Copies of this chain bind each other. A is one copy, B any other.
Amino acid sequence: MQFSDKILNTPSSFIRNILKVTDSPEVISFAGGLPNPISFPIDALQEAINNAIAEQGAKLFQYSTTQGYEPLRQLIAAKYQRNFGLDIQAEDVFITTGSQQALELLGKVFLNKGDGVVMEAPGYLGAIQAFTLAEPNFYPVTLEDDGLNVDELEATLANNANIKFIYTVPNFQNPTGITYSKEKREAIYEVVKKYDVALIEDDPYGELRFEGEALPYIGAGRLENSVLLGSFSKTVTPGFRLGYIVTKNKEILSHVETAKQATDLHTNIFAQMTIAEYLTHNAYQEHVDKIIALYSKQANAMLQAIEKHFPAEVKYTKPEGGMFIWATMPAGISALELFDAAMKVNVAFVPGDPFYTHPENINTLRLNYTNATEEVIEEGIKRLGTIMKEVIASHAVVAQ
């Protein structure tokens, strides 16, 4: 059999592949991107399920509409009205099978083969995978500590008329944990509004802020082709696969609807009705506050351990929320080499490579802190620091 070019060119997930080695119980893994299971509101969800079944009966189990359950879309819209003063209505919200599907649907809707996509470098590897299925050209733009490099972004847009959209994660970015500053958001808006491109702001972690103030989105509420993505995976449960697209652009939404019909008809309605019931009758914000407190402690534990155990020449980000820290070793040190060495002492992380569309000589790594106790974080970072020093030292010797 001959297979399609697009599937032969799509990287299988590095993270999912290394799970086979990092999943064993003796490994301290900072590799995943999983919410802490103690953060799932299981009892409240069980209650929501019972109530939803009692009230809606067969409707939870039947086929449903492609755009998604209207009361859930209303609840989502109300959150954006409340938290950001945005004029978002239920009709502007489209429910997807996790926000991974939102990415894939947007790829389908916008991209012919060879069309351009601006990606953060480094950027979310699941987005790279999803868009690759549509066979685009990727245009990486350097991600700095406060967001995309604006001059590079402007030059990239000016020189490449084939670009259809820009993909960003403005809050606690995956993989770096960085947050776009208010000034960068404004500067990016000023550049993007001059071009006929869509701006995708993917925000799965935005509500998990443990430091600083929430910032307005870059394009939502003011760019004609603004597309905002959200998810219940990091705040309630990823197992339900519930994400959503928010846009005031009816043309985009109508094409997304056709793509969704053809892709999986509609999103699991049992999950949608259950989450709507949960959001209506439970203290959602209190629950999110608990997750924030938990992740804040874990992030601090990891930052303190890094400060103590990593070699001084290794730089790292200090996230204000979310799930990740990004470390940068001296130029020339390979994170893949570090990965092999670290696995020998049973510590896992994700080398930076899969987060770049054009990887070469990658000296960066992603560390997740949401799935280990403070003690385990301290121990894992200590071991990793030791290995880093060895790997860096061995390169110094070679370089002499």
Q: Which residues of A approach B to under 8 Å, CB–CB?
A: 1-8, 10-13, 16, 34-35, 37-38, 40, 42, 45-46, 49-50, 53, 57-64, 66, 97-98, 100-101, 104, 108-113, 115, 126, 129-130, 132-134, 164, 196, 198, 225, 233, 237-241, 249, 251-252, 255, 257-259, 261-271
Across the interface, A262 reaches (CB within 8 A) one of B8, B49, B62, B132, namely: B132
Whether A239 contacts B129 by the Cβ 8 Å rule is no
Whether A255 contacts B3 by the Cβ 8 Å rule is yes
Whether B46 contacts A62 by the Cβ 8 Å rule is no
Known interface pairs A37-B61, A239-B269, A258-B12. Does A198 touch B109 (Cβ–Cβ under 8 Å)?
no
Q: Please report the C-alpha to C-alpha distance between residue A330 and residue B13 in the assembled complex, in whole angstroms.
A: 55
Whether B34 contacts A58 by the Cβ 8 Å rule is no
A-B contact pairs, 26 of them (CB 8 A): A1-B164, A1-B252, A2-B196, A6-B112, A7-B109, A8-B255, A12-B258, A34-B63, A37-B58, A42-B53, A59-B239, A61-B237, A62-B237, A62-B238, A62-B239, A97-B241, A98-B264, A98-B265, A101-B263, A126-B265, A129-B262, A130-B262, A130-B263, A133-B259, A237-B270, A268-B268
Q: Please report the C-alpha to C-alpha distance between residue A98 and residue B268 in the assembled complex, in whole angstroms.
A: 9
**Chain B residues closer than 8 Å to A108, beta-carbon distance:** 4, 6-7, 133
Q: Please report the C-alpha to C-alpha distance between residue A239 and residue B174 in the assembled complex, in whole angstroms.
A: 32
Whether A100 contacts B259 by the Cβ 8 Å rule is no
Across the interface, A49 reaches (CB within 8 A) one of B35, B49, B58, B266, namely: B49
Whether A268 contacts B252 by the Cβ 8 Å rule is no
Given A3-B110, A97-B264, 7 other A-B residues pairs in contact with their CB atoms under 8 A: A1-B225, A3-B255, A4-B134, A34-B62, A38-B58, A62-B239, A64-B239
Whether A61 contacts B239 by the Cβ 8 Å rule is yes
Q: Which residue of B lies closest to A249 (CB)?
A: B1
**In the complex, how many angstroms separate the beta carbon of A12 from the nearest chain B beta carbon?**
5
Whether B270 contacts A100 by the Cβ 8 Å rule is no
